[in-house]
């Protein structure tokens, strides 16, 4: 058998009639032609050298370490005192999800269906929309953590997963800059050029979560939207999240559309039980209170409201004033301010000043609810 590789510095290999040649992981037996051999080995690694592959492997290792640190814990209320955090695996509760067709028909869906779409190969531009506080970022965080721990089968379909907080994009709209700014250590030995080359040559093995397209500064919006519109990395899988009011400039470029509705009534109970894992009595009494009031049930389908109500239940020692939703909001605001003051270096001790701040915050909250 004779193999002649054309080009500068060509190679000629001559072997016996019954011999075989192995090139990398590819074995070519006597009588077999190159046309019948798949040299991609399941990956689109054409044009990728050892340096690029090494950078990608190093990046994947650093990404997993970063996600295990940053995504394993949820900080649902950053204005609270330092140390208020919840473990993702302990507290995460599946959200109610629907899907929408190109004609606008909405139907019940699930996180399981979303996972299947991610790896199907038929859908690589996905929009996840929802109201503020409904759980879009936590949704991304859970999938990111699944990839980092390699817990689910789908995670193996992607060599690299980049979850980017678009609110933090401040100096460049380029993907590679955001990756190095947000996800990798400052002293990383990952070569930016090598990693960028690997990503371009292995797009089908790359998953990108763009969290908060609606919060992106207008300066960088056109660059980032190139990803959604397939003008950049068209074969990569891109998931963009946005508030429902800001989705209009995204829907024409997607082939998968999901809407996060928040918690169902059953999942509210499940969430509360997880939150009060060490205090079963507190969980049961709060669930009973919610089940007895239709307005509060509606309120707690928003996960942010649910966690705030759990915090309020702790702070008030299971005793709330009144049963009106507006009064409940006022109590939540007061609880937030109390915890925020604990966080401040020089807290305000004036009761009058405190009440002024409370009233202003409450009015702002009401305006936000009316606009949402």
Please list the alpha-helical segments (H only) found in 72-174: 88-91, 111-119, 136-149
Q: Which of 5-19, 76-90, 188-202, 322-336 has the highest mean pLDDT?
A: 188-202
- For tokens 């953590």, the residue is 145
CA distance 66 to 311: 28
> Which residue range(s) make up the domain with 312?
284-371
How many structural domains are present in the chain?
3
Q: Is 272 a member of any domain?
A: no
Query: What is the enclosing helix (H) or strand (E) of 242?
Result: strand 237-243
**364 occurs within a structural domain:** yes
Nearest C-alpha neighbor of 176 from the set 67, 42, 51, 55 = 55
Would you say 214 and 243 are in contact if contact means Cβ atoms under 8 Å apart?
yes
Q: Which residue has the tokens 């606008």?
A: 104
Mean pLDDT of the chain: 79
Alpha-carbon torsion (340, 342, 347, 349), positive or negative: positive
Same-domain pairing of 159 and 202: yes
**Cα distances (angstroms) measured from residue 174 to each of 3, 137, 177, 184, 227:** 43, 21, 5, 15, 10
Q: Are residues 253 and 307 in the same domain?
A: no
- Clarify whether residues 77 and 24 are in a common domain: no
Residue 331, φ and ψ in degrees, nearest 5? -65, -40
* Same-domain check for residues 203 and 338: no
Q: In the structure encoding, which two tokens stand for residue 184, read together?
A: 């990798």
pLDDT tens for 299-357 read 888 888 898 888 888 877 777 666 677 777 778 777 777 777 766 655 555 445 555 55
Q: Are residues 242 and 134 in the same domain?
A: yes
Lowest average pLDDT, out of 32-41, 179-188, 316-325, goes to 32-41
35-24-34 Cα angle (round to 5): 10
Whether the CA torsion 97, 111, 60, 235 is positive or negative: it is negative
Render the burial of 273-294: b for 16+ CB within 10 Å, e for the rest: ebbbeeeeebbebbbeebeeee
Residue 45 is assigned to a structural domain of this protein: no
pLDDT in tens, 276-288: 988 999 999 999 9
């Amino acid at each position: 058998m004779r193999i002649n590789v054309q080009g500068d510095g060509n190679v000629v290999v001559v072997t016996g009639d019954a011999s075989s040649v192995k090139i990398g992981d590819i074995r070519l037996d006597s009588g077999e032609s190159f046309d019948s051999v798949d040299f991609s080995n399941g990956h689109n690694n054409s044009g990728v050298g050892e340096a690029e592959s090494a950078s990608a492997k190093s990046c994947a290792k650093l990404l997993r370490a970063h996600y295990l640190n940053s995504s394993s814990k949820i900080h649902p209320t950053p204005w609270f005192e330092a140390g208020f955090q919840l473990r993702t695996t302990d507290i995460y509760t599946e959200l109610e999800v629907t899907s929408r067709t190109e004609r606008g028909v909405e139907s019940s869906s699930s996180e399981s269906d979303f996972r299947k779409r991610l790896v199907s190969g038929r859908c690589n531009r996905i929009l996840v929309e929802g109201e503020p506080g409904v759980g879009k970022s936590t949704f991304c965080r859970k999938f990111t953590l699944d990839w980092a721990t390699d817990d689910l089968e789908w995670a193996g379909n992607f060599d690299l997963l980049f979850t980017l907080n678009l609110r933090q994009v401040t100096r460049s709209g380029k993907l590679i800059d955001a990756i190095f700014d947000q996800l990798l250590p400052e002293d990383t030995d990952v070569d930016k050029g090598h990693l960028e080359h690997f990503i371009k040559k292995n797009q089908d093995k790359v998953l990108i979560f763009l969290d908060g397209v609606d919060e992106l500064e207008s300066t960088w919006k056109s660059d980032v939207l190139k990803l959604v519109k397939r003008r950049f990395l068209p074969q990569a899988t891109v998931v963009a999240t946005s508030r429902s009011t800001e989705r209009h400039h995204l829907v024409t470029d997607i082939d998968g559309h999901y809407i996060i509705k928040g918690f169902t009534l059953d999942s509210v109970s499940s969430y509360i039980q997880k939150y009060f894992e060490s205090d079963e009595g507190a969980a049961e009494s709060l669930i009973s209170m919610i089940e007895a009031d239709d307005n509060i049930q509606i309120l707690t389908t928003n996960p942010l409201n649910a966690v705030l109500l759990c915090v309020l239940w702790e702070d008030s020692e299971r005793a709330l004033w009144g049963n009106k939703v507006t009064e409940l909001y006022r109590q939540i605001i007061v609880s937030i301010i109390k915890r925020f003051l604990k966080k401040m270096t020089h807290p305000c001790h004036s009761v009058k000043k405190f009440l002024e701040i409370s009233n202003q915050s409450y009015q702002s909250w009401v305006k936000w609810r009316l606009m949402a």
